Amino acid sequence: MPLSILARLRDGRYDAGGTRQDQPEWPPHPARVFCALVASVTGEQDWEALRWLEAAGDPQVWASPVFTSRRREGFVVTNITATKPTSQHQLGRTAQTKIRLSAEPGDGEFAFVWPDASPQPATLQTLTNLARRVPYLGRSTSPVTLRVQDETPLMRAEWATLKPAQLGEPDTLALRVPYPGYTERLRQIFAEGRRSWEANRTTPYSYPKPAPVEPPAVSPFDEMLIFGFEAGSVKPTGEMLLTVTDRLRAAVLDRIGTDVPPEVSGHGADTSTHVGYLALPNVGNRHADGRLLGVAVAVPRELRRQAYARLWGALVERPLQRLTLRRDQVLKVEYLPSTALTRGLQAERWTAAGRGGSRTWVTATPIMLDRYLKKSKGDAGVMKEVERSLVRAGLPEPVECEFSPAAMLKGALHRPRRDTMPGHRPSKPIVHVRVTFDRPVIGPVLAGSMRYTGLGLFVPAAEVS
């Protein structure tokens, strides 16, 4: 059973001098807290609890490693008399400059943690009562609230963990700590009128080395050119997805004109990743209705510079402004910077690049498998084929996979309308999928037989609300 002492600086400031004259003490040393508990003793039961605590070992210190040092100077009248007094208010007395240093940490709360301590209930209650009586830590100008608990506190993002350094590890800080016999030593020094620092004993502490972080995997696509539908207009339903993406592709090819690069058209680029034509549905939120919010062109990382220039010219330099679905049905579109786009149209929604990727992804549009499956393969065969489709699309093999014939997100397209399916393409099995990778993946994540025309589009699971 662990033991923790949680502290909160009531003014957000810690007033205490450090081991160096030009630096305040931060983080607070475990001996500081122990001495504060000693100052709150009222009876023999308290002394017994402190003797137990001093033998519990060196605690970990959980605190913000970031702090701002503050310096204050002032004149203090001493008890020394002189023929030439320097105090203007106390005749015959001298005055000297006093420097006070304080630390203002990034987080005014911190903790001392004994992971392996096991106090008896009576000892725990005594320490709790002692902590409640502590008014300040360091100087009296830094009021504090202490709380004792028999569990490990929740680690905060602002904190770092200082642990006693092991043999062979580089020590970062030397912190004063309590030790067996510390209580009696403090009582003896106090009785003799001496200072508590004479009983100091330090232990080297260090920050544990962070575990090596594997870089995120990246999608074969590194950019999305996104166009939103006209504000206030009726948005197409998700069932029209393949019609919309087909007209988007046709508009791009028509605007480029002759000699369309194979990476843009897809013709002759079967062995490499080519441009993907996507429609972005409203999915995964409480207002999700599955309607299409806009369209996007997914640009491959390895797209040749000349091909990119022609694609950019056809879409952005001469802005794409409309998609004609039928003679009497035109969708007005507009290319906007990400700051002007709604959340469902921002690239971050579909890539998770800003937070270093996502490990879990869910289909916003169903994935069409790359090949037919024998019925005898069953569910295991479907999952195996989904894994193959992801790897074939240039993504890592997932460590977890689940599929469903129905949508797994609110608003997600169940199936495209049958009459929107390309006539030349055989209809292979279509499923919805949730996959988890062994490391974060930066999207967009597209997989399956029709990933270049809008099916098999995934959304990061963390984006689902």
DSSP string, 412-463: --S---GGGS-TTS----EEEEEEEEEEEEES--B-STTGGGTSSBEEEGGG
Q: What is the mean pLDDT of residues 276-302?
A: 94
What pLDDT sits at residue 95?
55
Confidence of residue 465 (pLDDT cuts 50, 70, 90): very low
- Mean per-residue pLDDT for 76-98? 55
Per the model's pLDDT, the better-predicted residue between 374 and 408 turns out to be 408
Domain boundaries, the chain: 3-68+104-206, 217-463
Average pLDDT over residues 395-412: 94
Q: Which residues contact 26 (CB under 8 A, 6 or more apart)?
A: 14, 18, 63, 67, 103, 105
* Overall average pLDDT of the 91-105 stretch: 72
Lowest mean pLDDT among 40-54, 76-90, 321-335: 76-90
| pLDDT at residue 250, rounded to an integer | 95
- From the DSSP assignment, how many helices (H) and strands (E) are in the chain? 9, 21
The pLDDT of residue 388: 94
For the cut 90, the answer to whether the pLDDT of residue 58 exceeds it is yes
Is residue 81 predicted with pLDDT exceeding 70?
no
Mean pLDDT of the chain: 89
User: What mean pLDDT comes out for the span 155-174?
Assistant: 84
Question: Three-state DSSP class for 110?
Answer: strand
Residue 201, token pair as written in the block:
């004993």
Q: Which of 82-96, 275-289, 320-334 has the highest mean pLDDT?
A: 275-289
Report, as an integer, the average pLDDT of 345-356: 91
Q: Are 34 and 50 in contact (CB under 8 A)?
A: yes
Whole-number pLDDT of residue 297: 96
Instruction: Give per-residue pLDDT as tens, 186-233.
Output: 999 999 999 888 999 999 999 877 667 778 999 999 899 999 998 888
Please give the average per-residue pLDDT across 33-47, as a whole number. 95
The residues near 334 (Cβ < 8 Å, ≥ 6 apart) are 227, 228, 230, 319, 321
Residue 375: pLDDT above 80?
no
Q: How many C-beta atoms surround the C-beta of residue 206 within 10 A?
A: 16
Q: Given a cut of 70, is residue 322 above it in pLDDT?
A: yes
Range from 8-22, 99-113, 392-406 carrying the lowest mean pLDDT: 8-22
What does the pLDDT read at residue 88?
52
Phi-psi region of 407 (alpha: psi -120 to 50; beta: other; left: phi over 0): beta
Average pLDDT over residues 35-51: 96
Alpha-carbon gap, residue 303 to 307, rounded angstroms: 7
* For range 121-148, the mean pLDDT: 94
Short-list 303, 167, 121, 124, CA closest to 225: 303
pLDDT at position 420 over 70: yes
Amino acid at 297: V
pLDDT at site 354: 86
Confidence of residue 417 (pLDDT cuts 50, 70, 90): confident
Q: How far is CA 360 from CA 61, 187, 281, 298, in A?
A: 34, 58, 19, 20
- For residue 303, pLDDT beyond 80: yes
> DSSP state, 143?
B
Nearest to 147 by CA among 43, 33, 50: 33
What does the pLDDT look like over 235-280, one tens digit per residue? 999 999 999 999 999 999 999 998 999 999 988 777 789 999 999 9
Percentage of the chain with pLDDT > 70? 91
Q: Is residue 393 within 8 Å of residue 447, measured between CB atoms?
A: yes
| Stretch among 49-53, 86-90, 291-295, 418-422 having the lowest mean pLDDT | 86-90
